[in-house]
Amino acid sequence: MPRRKLGTRARAAWSDVAVRAGLGTSWLSPKLGLGGGSIIGGRVTLALDRGALARLAVGRRIVLVSGTNGKTTTSHLLAAALRTAGPVAHNSSGANMPDGAVAALSAARDAKLAVIEVDELHVAEVAEAVDPVAIVLLNLSRDQLDRGNEVRSVAKALSQALAHHPETTVIANADDPMVVWAALPAAHVVWVAAGVGWTGDVTTCPQCGRTLAVGDGHWACECGLARPQPTWSAEDGAAVTGGTRTPVALNLPGRFNLGNAVMAMAGAAVAGVEPAAAAAAMGAVQEVAGRYSTVWHGRHELRLLLAKNPAGWAETLGLLDEARPLLVMINAREADGRDTSWLWDVPFEELGPRPVAAAGERSPDIGLRLSYAGIEHTTVADPLGAIAALPPGKVDVVANYTAFHQLQRRLAAAAGNGESRA
Ligand SMILES: [Zn+2]
């Protein structure tokens, strides 16, 4: 950024240069073999204009989506719902740091609506810049151990951020005690009974540390913190609010995705989209950045699922077809968390007898865990080699974050070489 103080006009012109430079970089990056490009483009824009995110947000109605699990899926559902009202800017690839938000807003400068998925640790920074109309807060559980943040400290930081935005409506999951505690200081909260697949990190009260009383869909603590009365709830394939039941027929599997959809519907309502229109649009979403998609590779029909922590696995285990061969692929790069000890909190014992292969850069870690769970398996670090070791036909694939993207690239390259049919 130029050091001398710029006039308003010069500032706008410079801001435009910064956005164009970022877009140019995004366009060039894949051509130079430097990857997808949206993040690096956003970084270039931010390097030239530190206030780019705030400037790009002016005049738009922006909804942020955050939480430990389901951010990408929920933001895709919400973006589909909002598109019924006009063009939507969206960081659809899941680049959920400020640079990803800048890239998404740069790429759709005419969109008056935006859905921005935000990493839990960056909500304060992004909200400060974009002044969102709503923040959707899905759940808070342990994610990547070596990011050095306990769930409670993440919740504390979030609650401070929410308190700074009295005009923003917070859509919060009433079933997650940590989310409720984080959302308490917010001025406007819409509580949603979206369900939780995992309570392993919240058996004690986030407010006082006592043991929570849990039962019949309710939870409460002696200190007074308790499940708020929800105004929306996810019930048997429908969203219920104000006595009205709207059927939600998703193409995405699982009870937790219905919860994500109802959270998205509550967010869409704040932006002016009616539940029926939102539900119809969300029903057309077939996959989310490759997740839930089906890909052929040789004689195997792979269903691709992503799970990156114990809570994600708790939900994913329920989706796996009984006895269908399974590939589990685990990496431990920075974006995954370097520590794989979370694998010991996943109840792999529930898998039961089926052909299982362990793959990925940390295949020995997942292999060891499966051995302790008594699950017979083969360990082959190379994912395509591991697939080849499984019986032909349908295979469920569950990978964590960088493993998922690595596998997608390998499968695409193999398809390009004629090793696979579409
Ligand atoms: Zn308490």
* 393's tokens: 């036909």
Q: How far is the CA of 136 from the centre of ligand 1 (A)?
A: 24
C-alpha 196 to ligand 1 mean position (Å) = 19
- Residue ranges, CATH 3.40.1190.10, the chain: 53-282
The pTM of the full predicted model, rounded to 2 decimals, is 0.87
The yes-or-no verdict on residue 422 having pLDDT over 70 is: no
How many A from CA of 141 to the centre of ligand 1? 18
Dihedral sign computed on CA atoms, order 142, 92, 261, 109: positive
User: Has residue 82 got a pLDDT over 50?
Assistant: yes
Q: Residue 421: pLDDT above 60?
A: no
pLDDT for the residue 48: 82
Cα 143 to middle of ligand 1, angstroms? 23
Q: Is the pLDDT score of 271 beyond 70?
A: yes
Looking at residue 20, what is its pLDDT? 87
Distance from Cα 205 to the centre of ligand 1, integer Å: 5
Least confident of 21-30, 75-84, 87-96, 383-392: 21-30
Query: Could you give the residue range(s) of every CATH 3.90.190 domain in the chain?
Result: 294-416
The model's confidence at residue 28, banded by pLDDT at 50, 70 and 90, is: confident
How far, in Å, from the CA of 208 to the mean position of ligand 1?
A: 4
* pLDDT, mean of residues 139-167: 81
State which fold the 294-416 domain adopts: Protein-Tyrosine Phosphatase; Chain A (3.90.190)
Q: Rounded to the nearest whole angstrom, what is the distance from the C-alpha of residue 210 to the centroid of ligand 1?
A: 5
Segment 85-100 shows an average pLDDT of 92
Centre of ligand 1 from the C-alpha of residue 250, in Å: 36
Return the SS3 of 17. Answer: helix
| C-alpha–C-alpha distance, residues 49 and 400, integer Å | 34
Choice among 124-128, 251-255, 261-265 with the minimum mean pLDDT: 251-255
Over the range 62-76, which residues count as b (16 or more CB within 10 Å of their CB) and which as e? Answer: bbbbbbbbbbbbbbb
* pLDDT at residue 148 in the model: 46
Alpha-carbon span 255 to 155, nearest angstrom: 24
CA–centroid distance, 137 to ligand 1, in Å, is 21
Determine the Cα–Cα distance for residues 134 and 60; give it in Å rounded to an integer. 12
Quote the ligand 1 centre to 221 CA distance (angstroms). 5
Per-residue model confidence (pLDDT) at position 169: 98
DSSP characters over 79-135: HHHHGGGS-EEE-TT---SHHHHHHHHHHTTT-SEEEEE--GGGHHHHHHHH--SEE
> Angle of helix 98-107 relative to helix 123-130, nearest 10 degrees?
40
For residue 222, report the distance from its CA to the centre of ligand 1, in Å: 6
| Predicted confidence (pLDDT) per residue in 1-23, tens digit | 445 566 888 888 888 888 888 88
CA 252, 255, 261, 267 torsion-angle sign? negative
One of 3.40.50.300, 3.40.1190.10, 3.30.360.10, 3.30.465.10 is the CATH number of 53-282, namely 3.40.1190.10
| pLDDT beyond 90 at 43 | no
- The label of the residue with tokens 């114990």 reads 310
Query: Which residue in the block uniquely carries the two structure tokens 């956005």?
Result: 19
Please tell me the distance between residue 126's alpha carbon and the centre of ligand 1 in angstroms. Answer: 30
pLDDT, average across residues 206-217? 88
CA of 262 to the centre of ligand 1 (A): 28
What distance in angstroms lies between residue 213's CA and the mean position of ligand 1's atoms?
Answer: 10
Q: Which tens digit of pLDDT belongs to each residue from 174-211?
A: 999 999 999 999 999 999 999 886 655 557 888 998 99
Of 140-154, 285-299, 325-339, 347-361, where does mean pLDDT reach its minimum? 140-154
As a whole number of angstroms, the distance between CA 159 and CA 270 comes to 20
Average of per-residue pLDDT across 49-60: 92
Q: Distance, CA 123 to ligand 1 centroid (Å)?
A: 25
| pLDDT given at position 1 | 47
Q: What separation in Å is there between the alpha carbon of 177 and the centre of ligand 1?
A: 10
Is residue 321 a contact partner of residue 346, using CB atoms and an 8 Å limit? no
User: DSSP H helical segments within 173-331, as ranges?
Assistant: 177-183, 255-270, 275-282, 310-317
Q: How far is the CA of 149 from the centre of ligand 1 (A)?
A: 21
